[in-house]
Structure 1
Amino acid sequence: MASKSSAIMALILFSSLIISCKAAIIENALTTTFNVLSFGAKPGTQHDSNMAFIRAWNAACNFNGKARLLIPEGLYTISETIFQGPCKGPAPITVLLQGTLQAVSDPSAYPDKGWISFDTINGLIFTGGGTIDGRGQSVWKYNDCKTNPNCVHMPASIYITKVTNAKIKYINLVNSMGFHMHITQSHLVRLHSLTITSPVDSPNTDGMHISKSNTVKVSRSLIKTGDDCVSIGQGSTNVTINKITCGPGHGISVGSLGKLPEEMDVQGLIVKNCTLLGTTNGIRIKTFAASGPSRASGMLFKDIVMYNVKNPIIIDQNYGSNSAQPSLVKISDVVYQNIRGTSISPVAVNLMCSSKVPCENVHLKNINLQYTGNDEKASSTCANVHVGYFGLQSPPPCLLGASA
């Protein structure tokens, strides 16, 4: 009887597999592929193939049926390339990157904000297991942002603007000139299974910067950079960061906020199930002093593990300035829950809020952060913050400016 049931189950599984394979064959049969090689792309380092890529994209985007842009195995050198929509065919359009894209090393080849841009597209799948190499080591020496507050940022390797219903997965990004990815003015974007790497001393190479976007989900990715692994800029709402391994880098940051006049609010951020390894900050909220008024609220940081992190939990509302004018970015409704690990600095929890608009409704629940130094125990500091404590608290709650 058991053998008969097993045979039936095997037959059902086999039938399901056949159905899935048939569905994939039908899907492929209904999708027209536009190979960049057919439009003049040439593998190698001596030829700029960006016009061939643009021609292939335009053909795919203007096709009335389901379309796929194929970048096959091989190394392709391209300068600034913009994949512009809207597209005519049924969404989504797929970009299948199987090879390696290499940037032209001349900074003047990138007059805009991105090296590879996706602009005004409704329905995009970007996948394929390929690699995007920004060759940032050839231009990082021109980055003066540490000393020049009005510096011009290097282009992002991937710049996504006005894109809706997008999935970006199984892509490797290395050595960006500026941000590895910048997502702005976009809606319903999901990113997962990404590997993002650059040296620890590479300047402004955020793994991912999100701004002015709604409903963005980042998950199951490894990010090792010279700056923030993920940074959340103005106008970001309903952003979820889940199962990210971060480090080296500057941690996961909200901000910097308040640098520009009339910035949009940040609201609805969840960061959970993340691991931070040797980062200079853990979970950070940073705003400029003397900023204009805006808000950052509704943020949950939960189930996070930190190993040898310098500033595990930090709010810095005097970031990048010694100005006597306080920040006017109002921070409220922030929860830190189930955060554990080790700090290489004695101050493991540092909540320094604005004297003009103090932080409100901040909660710390089950915090266990141990100092790795001498016999000194980890401590907390805080100012201008109304904070509640629940459960385990290591380091102990700070008293200055706090209310339990």
Structure 2
Amino acid sequence: MTKPAITFPLLFTLVITFINISRSASNVFNVVSFGAKPEGVTDSTAAFLKAWQGACGSAASATVVVPKGTFLLKAITFGGPCKSKITFQVSGTVVAPADYRAFGNSGYWILFNKVSKMSLVGGTFDARANGFWSCRKSGQNCPPGVRSISFNSAKDVIISGVKSMNSQVTHMTLNGCNNVVVRNVRLVAPGNSPNTDGFHVQFSTGVTFTGSTVQTGDDCVAIGPGTRNFLITKLACGPGHGVSIGSLAKDLKEDGVENVTVSSSVFTGTQNGVRIKSWARPSTGFVRNVFFQNLIMKNVQNPIIIDQNYCPSHQGCPTERSGVKISGVTYKNIQGTSATQQAMKLVCSKSNPCTGIILQDIKLTYNKGAPATSYCFNAAGKSLGVIQPTSCLNR
């Protein structure tokens, strides 16, 4: 039987396919190929950095691969800008040095700086912070602590399927970022771990945080100055301190927070539900156009709270008045149970009262049987629908 001849179109297709396969393979940078050891003991920092540099310098889309296994990583910066899109795909576990002093005063563990069109996908990141927490609790002279995963001056970023465990301080931070989607992440630390915020964002625009679970010792989500167009949805928060805008008014000249929505989320056993917090001192900051809606509170100590008299130890607040102006805040369809009788507390600034507060369809009950109560100070707005506890707003 005569073998069929290879026609030119078929030959051309085979050649193009081979080139594409070769190009694709050449754009995969496996950290093991650069010397990383998946046994959790050998320092793999240099290998990770080499893999990143290869991907960052690639003219075509590239992938950094962290395969199954455990990899020890010290403080590292993955710097940009890079030539093309990068996917950082983690299948294994990345662990920090067991000795918390190894970080010194760096302030970060894993930092992505000035990257764009990048995805961080999967993996577990364990900062192993038990020793650091013990130091903090003992009152010793300890380092300031490091954030586990940080993005500085990044844009067009996707963070998906990541698990961060046992952070020294904040699990995940965005600073000066634009157009970031964070989805299906788990941020986990014990409820008694000090200052372990889950997700912190500041000076950033166009951030979505969705479908995630945060169990930690401080704020599940902390929203700092300069945050705009931030959506939080489908969050499971607890233990922790809830979702907080602030603390604001740390500085006199401070950027504001606006266009924030927290929706379709559940708070379980948290210190707060949704909170706006500012220092009782002068500031140019503001909070406006905020929507807290479709939320469930389960045994939450302060389900709805504004605190503009924040001043630990009564130090650093010479005027005892917050300059932060809060306006246009809506609380809609918030239901559940309060662990304290005062389920709603809106304490606003003496010099800048809250305006445009809307309460709509609120049903919060005190879980010990007595009627829940509300308290307002310098807070004005309107109430719509059924409000329980009774609204205390000034009209």
Query: Is this a same-fold pair by TM over 0.5?
Result: yes
Residue of structure 2 in register with 1:391 after alignment: 385
Residue of structure 1 in register with 2:237 after alignment: 246
SS of 2:51's equivalent in the other structure is helix
CA positional deviation for 1:28: 9.9
SS of 2:94's equivalent in the other structure is strand
**Structure 2 CA distance for partners of 1:147 and 1:287, relative to 1, 3 Å:** farther
CA positional deviation for 1:382: 0.6
Return the match for 1:231 from 198, 222, 237.
222
Return the match for 1:140 from 129, 133, 142.
133
Matches within 5 A, 1:182-201: 182-201=173-192
**Structure 2 CA distance for partners of 1:291 and 1:79, relative to 1, 3 Å:** farther
Return the match for 2:358 from 363, 384, 387.
363
> How many pairs does the alignment contain?
372
Residue of structure 1 in register with 2:106 after alignment: 112
Residue of structure 1 in register with 2:284 after alignment: 293
TM-score scaled by structure 1? 0.88
How far apart are the structure 1 equivalents of 2:41 and 2:180? Answer: 35
Contact 1:105 1:139 in 2 (8 A): no
How far apart are the structure 2 equivalents of 1:392 and 1:97? Answer: 48
Contact 1:41 1:52 in 2 (8 A): yes
Which region of structure 1 is more displaced relative to structure 2, 221-230 or 108-117? 108-117
Return the match for 1:75 from 70, 78, 96.
70
Contact 2:309 2:320 in 1 (8 A): no
CA positional deviation for 1:114: 1.4
CA positional deviation for 1:80: 0.1
How far apart are the structure 2 equivalents of 1:72 and 1:28? Answer: 20
**Structure 2 CA distance for partners of 1:27 and 1:85, relative to 1, 3 Å:** farther
Contact 2:252 2:282 in 1 (8 A): yes
How far apart are the structure 2 equivalents of 1:247 and 1:377? Answer: 24
CA positional deviation for 1:363: 0.6
SS of 1:206's equivalent in the other structure is coil
CA positional deviation for 1:147: 8.6
Residue of structure 2 in register with 1:342 after alignment: 337
**Residue 255 in 1 paired to residue 257 in 2?**
no
Matches within 5 A, 1:145-184: 153-184=144-175
Matches within 5 A, 1:315-326: 315-321=306-312, 322=314, 323=317, 324-326=319-321
Contact 1:143 1:153 in 2 (8 A): no
The amino acid across from 2:371 in the alignment is: K
**Residue 305 in 1 paired to residue 328 in 2?**
no
Residue of structure 2 in register with 1:281 after alignment: 272
Tell me the C-alpha RMSD between the 2 structures.
2.1
**Structure 2 CA distance for partners of 1:125 and 1:392, relative to 1, 3 Å:** same
Return the match for 2:326 from 316, 331, 334.
331
Contact 1:163 1:185 in 2 (8 A): yes
TM-score scaled by structure 2? 0.90
How far apart are the structure 1 equivalents of 2:218 and 2:50? Answer: 35
Contact 2:100 2:131 in 1 (8 A): no
SS of 2:335's equivalent in the other structure is strand
CA positional deviation for 1:291: 3.6
How far apart are the structure 2 equivalents of 1:29 and 1:176? Answer: 38
Deviation per residue, 1:187-237 (Å, 9 max, x gap): 000000111111000111111000000000000011111111111001000
Return the match for 2:44 from 42, 49, 55.
49
The amino acid across from 2:30 in the alignment is: N
How far apart are the structure 2 equivalents of 1:199 and 1:138? Answer: 13
How far apart are the structure 2 equivalents of 1:311 and 1:247? Answer: 13
* Unaligned ranges ≥5, structure 2: 1-16
Deviation per residue, 1:132-186 (Å, 9 max, x gap): 0011112112337x999xx964211101101100000011111111100010100
| Percent identity over paired residues | 37
How far apart are the structure 2 equivalents of 1:107 and 1:264? Answer: 33
How far apart are the structure 1 equivalents of 2:90 and 2:305? Answer: 38
* Unaligned ranges ≥5, structure 1: 1-22
